[in-house]
Amino acid sequence: MANDQNQQVVFLPEGTRRTRGRDAQRINILIAKAVANAVKSTLGPKGMDKMIVDDLGDVIISNDGATILGEMSIDHPAGKMMVEVAKTQDDEVGDGTTTAVIIAGGLLEKAEKLLDDEIHPSIIIKGYRLAAEKAKELYTNISDDITVKDKAVLRQIALTSMTGKSAESAEELADLVVGAMTQVASEENGKTVIDLDNVKVEKKVGGSIKDSELIQGIIIDKEIVHSGMPKSQEDAKIALVDAAMEIKSPETDTKVQISDADQLQAFLDQEEAMLKRMVASVKNAGANVVICQKGIDDIAQHYLAKEGILAVRRVKKSDMDALAKATGARVVFRINDLSSSDLGKAKMVREKKISGDSMVFVEGCKNPKAVSILVRGGTEHVVDEAERAVHDAIGSVASAVNIGKVLYGGGSCEVEVASKLRGYAKTVGGREQLAIEAFAEALEIIPRTLAETAGMDTIDTLVALRSRHSGKDGVYIGVNVYTAKLEDMKKNKVVEPLKVKTQALTSGSEVAEMLLRIDDIIAGSGKSKGPQMPPGMGGMGGMDM
């Protein structure tokens, strides 16, 4: 009977790759740490850039965490989960992607030491959950209120977000971002809300970043359809049409029999008359600009040009929605139903050539609820990185306004929260206390990394920070990477939205808990459409571990 109990049961095919217990946890932690270390050096104003070269030789130069991880070739499932952390942070807030990944990697690094001390993963997970909830509460306690009217603070948030990106002239871009955000902000149930879909960012190579501009309206990356049409239209009355200004083929199988030339001419005349009626509907409504989501027939173009009406065709639906918000127009689906009440207004609609490409600018909309930022730069790489910087700044400012709370950076809030967490750990007691203390240490990786990028001694810096934060006046003391000193971040105006920190904490702790819960990695059968297990359970594209 004893022999039966000790007999090994084989339920997987021979040769199936499988890693169990501590080995599985160790591999997952190793991969997660490698991903975090890959982007760690990009943190902060003095962070370094990464150059990513794909199989086709295309090059991306960036220090944006989400961009770097999104472009890297990562095979291991644990690595892909870390990429998801950056993607979630980018989707939710638009900034703080590197912070979220570093926190996740730090939590797993500290958990590894606890596992080596024979502390069960479930205890570590429980401690991390308690710490995460308490940390979010502590972040909120040390935050300050903000409204959309605090333009100076919003500008500092945008600057903090963009600092360290390759975008020179960050101050000019910050002004554009704040101008756009305050323009599209709206009141809902007594609360200020900013919808990011209402800010369109277009990029064009040429000129310098200082040539970037905010358009009180929408930029359409299209050209005017007919050479005989006016290239600009002042006091524009705009018709937005989601219908084809052309004779479409019947949707059912249809046969038209024509037996002589007169019938053919009558058929063509009938088509022309229908197109002429469409143009007449536009003119009778009082429109002098037509923006069409679908096609415009050559004959219709001719008649529109004769009437002096400017037209653009095959415009994206997202642009049509933005134009409706910017100009006050209503999108019509039947041209014959178009009336003057459906038209939108703008001071000017004009075609401009930028770097050899024609674009249509709808400008001077009165109190527009959708605007555009045109980002310029000398090279493609500069423009791409400037666009990423603007994207981060837009996300940060919108998060600050939507939540209404801000914190101060330079690692000051992390050290303050870590200090308070250590006190909280003593009240919890038990083995969970060790996990909460490990969580506090993981948060301090942020100021440590900032000190490292500034060329400071990381241990001395951390000791000094802890000492300053133990006093009453040390809440805002952080690392000034420019002077390589510890300074008051509130006075230095290093401002970050509360949501950047809380979302990074949520995403980072959740992925750490999920990876710690795994104690068995089994190669699947390949029947599902999910990702296949890479050979040897590893594979990070040659990344240093």
Q: What is the 3-state secondary structure (H, E, C) of 378-436?
A: CCHHHHHHHHHHHHHHHHHHHHHHHHCEEEECCCHHHHHHHHHHHHHHHHHCCCHHHHH
- Between CA 402 and CA 395, with CA 390 as vertex, the angle to 5 degrees is 20
- Cβ-based neighbours of 139, under 8 Å, separated by 6 or more: 407, 413, 417, 498, 501, 502, 505
Question: Which among 64, 90, 297, 384 is annotated as catalytic?
Answer: 64
Question: Which among 90, 95, 297, 392 is annotated as catalytic?
Answer: 392
254 is catalytic: no
What's 212's DSSP letter? -
Distances (CA, A) of 182 to 81, 130, 323: 35, 37, 18
Q: Look at the block and give the residue holding tokens 């209120």.
A: 145
449 is catalytic: no
Answer whether 451's CB lies under 8 Å from 426's CB: no
Q: How many CB atoms lie within 10 A of CB 442?
A: 26
Of 412, 407, 409, 411, residue with least CA distance to 473: 412
Q: How far is the C-alpha of 21 from the C-alpha of 30, rounded, in Å?
A: 14
97 is catalytic: yes
Q: How far is the C-alpha of 443 from the C-alpha of 139, rounded, in Å?
A: 12
Answer whether 347's CB lies under 8 Å from 237's CB: no
Q: Characterize the bridge pairing of strands 232-241 and 289-292.
A: parallel
- Between CA 72 and CA 47, with CA 396 as vertex, the angle to 5 degrees is 50
Question: Which among 19, 67, 98, 461 is annotated as catalytic?
Answer: 98
98 is catalytic: yes
Q: How far is the C-alpha of 43 from the C-alpha of 39, rounded, in Å?
A: 7
Answer whether 326's CB lies under 8 Å from 240's CB: no
Q: How far is the C-alpha of 323 from the C-alpha of 312, rounded, in Å?
A: 13
Q: Look at the block and give the residue holding tokens 């059912």.
A: 252
Q: How many CB atoms lie within 10 A of CB 378?
A: 13
**86-112 burial by CB neighbour count: b if 16+ within 10 A, else e?**
bbbbbebbbbbbbbbbbbbbbbbbbbb
**403-437 burial by CB neighbour count: b if 16+ within 10 A, else e?**
bbbbbbbbbbbbbbbbbbbeebbeebeebbbbbbb
Question: Which among 19, 67, 97, 449 is annotated as catalytic?
Answer: 97
Q: How many CB atoms lie within 10 A of CB 448?
A: 23
Backbone φ and ψ for 507, nearest 5 degrees, come out as: -65, -45
Point out the residues that are catalytic: 64, 97-98, 392
